Structure 1
Amino acid sequence: NFGNWQQMVGDQTGDDVFSGQDTGAQNSQEFVLCQYCRVNLPKVTEMIIAHSKSCAIPERSDTSFTFTCLFCPYHTYKRRHMRDHVRKEIGEKPFTCMYCPYSASQKSNLKGHMLLKHNSNASYDHVPLLQSSSPIP
């Protein structure tokens, strides 16, 4: 059972690096500002990544600038690296522990947490879909 729709799409929590506020769900009406072209974008990871590749303003002197962060000087040619970076920038933590309130922006961080804190080698593939509201016995 996946619970309600908000749990399925990810009711992420975390600190917003700009305001110190809770980030809430990605489908909320929050926006971020591109430092280059000043466009407001929905605070949705995939939309931010797409803009980091398509924004016409930043200079892209080589392939390492394929994706250019909207918030800081970071740049990369790997989409996966930009996804991890954007999640940190906006405070998105879609990977949640099934045993405690811990959440992480990257699956590998959750895996390390579960091994260290819960001595668990559980499967992590389903974890991003669920936001656990109570520990699983």
Structure 2
Amino acid sequence: WQQMVGDQTGDDVFSGQDTGAQNSQEYIWCSYCSEKLPKFNIKKVVLHCKTCVSMVRLGDQYRFVCLMCSYHTINSEHFKRHVRKHTGDKPFKCKFCNFRSSRKDTTVQHVRIKHGSDEFEVLL
């Protein structure tokens, strides 16, 4: 597979054709410092939210502060899941159909209900 969900190569997963996604990369801006970040690069967004000195933090334990709203957490996985609400990123794909989700547990539930399968392998 040239492109998995969230990959910005621009190649369509099923047809192999160039969709132009690489050239249409979208960005989000930090509401605290105005830094521009690639919308679908979750690693860069999380790193920025963890290290931005302009962000107001509720306490030292809250390492992760959302750059678009007031969400705070100490858990990086919870934070990644939260950021996907803003970016629309859906990295978890059903291996049986075109269903995609921002959450692995939602995709596993989809596979169980829609396809009657106990195979919980979810493509990233």
TM-score (norm 2): 0.78
Task: Name 1:134's counterpart in structure 2.
Answer: none
Contact 1:107 1:124 in 2 (8 A): no
Are residue 34 (structure 1) and residue 30 (structure 2) matched?
Answer: yes
Contact 1:66 1:77 in 2 (8 A): yes
- The answer to which structure, 1 or 2, has the higher relative contact order (CA under 8 A, 6+ apart) is 1
Deviations, residues 30-61 of structure 1 (Å, cap 9, x unaligned) = 21100111111122111000011111112223
Task: Name 1:66's counterpart in structure 2.
Answer: 63
Which structure's residues are more often helix, by fraction?
A: 1
1:1-137 equivalence runs, <5 A: 3-4=1-2, 6-7=3-4, 10=7, 29-43=25-39, 44-124=41-121, 127-128=123-124
Question: Which amino acid in the other structure matches residue 35 of structure 1?
Answer: S
Question: Which amino acid in the other structure matches residue 41 of structure 1?
Answer: L
Question: Which amino acid in the other structure matches residue 35 of structure 2?
Answer: V
Q: Point out where structure 2 has 5 or more consecutive residues left out of the alignment.
A: 9-19
* Distance across 1 between alignment mates of 2:88 and 2:104: 14
Structure 1 vs Structure 2 CA RMSD: 2.3
TM-score (norm 1): 0.71
* Distance across 1 between alignment mates of 2:21 and 2:92: 13
Deviations, residues 74-106 of structure 1 (Å, cap 9, x unaligned) = 110111111111122101111111122110111
Query: Identity over aligned residues, as a percent?
Result: 38
1:25 deviates by 5.6
